[in-house]
Amino acid sequence: MRRREFLQSAAIAGVLQQPVGRYLGAQEHSQHASCGLTYASPAEAMAAEPEKLAYCPAIYAGTQINRPDYLATIDVDPQSATYGKVIHRLPMPHIGDELHHFGWNACSSCHGDAQHQRRYLILPGLVSSNLYVIDCIQPAAPTLQQTISGEEVKRKTHLSAPHTVHCLADGSILISMLGDAQGNAPGGFLLLNDRFEIAGRWEQDLTGMNFNYDFWYQPRHNVMISSEWAAPNTVRAGFSLDDVQAGKYGHHLHFWNWNDRKIAQSIDLGEKGMIPLEVRFHHDPASDQGFVGAALSSSVWRWYRAEDAWKAEPVIQVEPVETAGWPFPVPGLITDLVLSLDDRWLYFSNWLHGDLRQYDVSDPANPKLTGQLWLGGVIGRRPHTARKLAGGPQMLQLSLDGRRLYVTNSLYSSWDNQFYPQIAEQGSYMLKIDCDTTTGGLSLDERFYVDFGSEPNGPARAHEIRFPNGDSTSDIWV
């Protein structure tokens, strides 16, 4: 393949390794940060230098602050004088976006292609459907390159509510869309070309699809896996058990034929797999296994291929807890999970219970609990910190080497306001957890605490996290 031939070029490899930016902020750093790097393998990525910057959307949706959401740049270098501080803020041009998940224009699926390098973030507004292209050539001070309006997205594709962003090996960008132009299910998939132009819809057929949410592709198995949340019109109104009973939330995994762009097989996870959200394929591109967290059922499922068919089985179950003031036992509500690049360690957050867990999944069918921290929640467990934490652990991001786990606490504005109204008043936190990757274990870095409650324009919510040179959920190898 052409990209594999490029890998042999020392000149190109030299270009890809050059640092292209420098930290900016209250104090200038002597260290250099770079974007543009991709990796030939997960092992190469794990050997890369530690992250020194992080990006995170700061969100004013659902608060009393009538200002645009913004992209925060955070210093995560322990040697820096501004460690744990927001050092740059890039406001969006519109109010009411509800920035949520975001991703790169290129990742390791493009490795060896000099034309497509990790430089631009695609930052969608879940409510507005606006798509912002952010130039990170100066990693500490990103700039707005381009805006694709939500109205243009709806007009050209009849889709809305962009969620997961993944680059493809040819430099195009695939985005899962939760709804149609009116906010109804099932949504679909939006394709941007490498010039950030709307190329149309990716899927050839939506037959079998009920709802949409997250996705991951694995070309060696000619498969893409997608999960189900609910229609935008449903989730924006807040969570209701009546909606669950009315069938307005998903419980399927869909296995797409990657080449034909059609669903080849669907698995109904049933009551034990209600609201499957984040999907994490093994990073090894030859593997046919992965994990998904079912939020409402508080279970983790493993999928795998056997006898020319995809199978799925529950491998972890978090039991509900009787809690004073609640009319039913409180579920853990698994809202995010990440997998280390060596496919050994699985982490997930129980947003309502308030704990963060680490499992050894060397044997994917038999995970072993190896670490647990309590960081808030509603069931009354004492947190592993003296700080007063609003909400529970939610979005996770893992460093390339797997030794540092970052966590924020905001899920979605209407759900935050329903379960943790104090987040809107106090703002979010970002924490850093040190991970033992030899025998397992978690410990909180008490030096690192990003307080989004003290932002200049008032308390903000914090959601997904990215690093300039990739992380455990950005890169796919082909």
- Residues 372, 373, 378, 383: what is their CA dihedral angle, to the nearest 10 degrees? 150
pLDDT for 163: 98
Domain assignment of residue 470, yes or no: no
Which residues lie below 8 Å from residue 265, measured CB to CB, with a gap of 6+? 254, 255, 309, 310
Q: Is 228 within the bounds of a domain?
A: yes
Please report whether residue 478 resides in a domain.
Answer: no
Confidence at residue 26, expressed as pLDDT on a 0 to 100 scale: 34
User: Mean pLDDT over residues 287-314, rounded?
Assistant: 97
Q: How many domains are there within the chain? A: 1
For the chain, what's the residue count? 478
Provide the token pair at 65. Answer: 């602050």
Domain that holds residue 28: 2-462
| pLDDT given at position 190 | 98
Rg (CA), the chain: 21
* Residue 50 counted as domain residue: yes
Q: The dihedral of CA 280, 178, 418, 268: what is its sign?
A: negative
Which run of H or E residues covers position 2? helix 2-6
Question: Would residue 16 count as lying in a domain?
Answer: yes
Query: What pLDDT band is residue 324 in, cutting at 50, 70 and 90?
Result: very high
Within a domain: 473: no
pLDDT per residue over 22-60, tens digit each? 333 333 333 445 678 999 999 999 999 999 999 999 999
Tell me if 476 is assigned to some domain.
no
Give percent of the chain above pLDDT 90: 92
| DSSP 8-class letter at 466 | B
**Cut 0.95: pTM above it:** no
CATH number at residue 77: 2.130.10.10
Within a domain: 458: yes
Predicted pLDDT at 34: 66
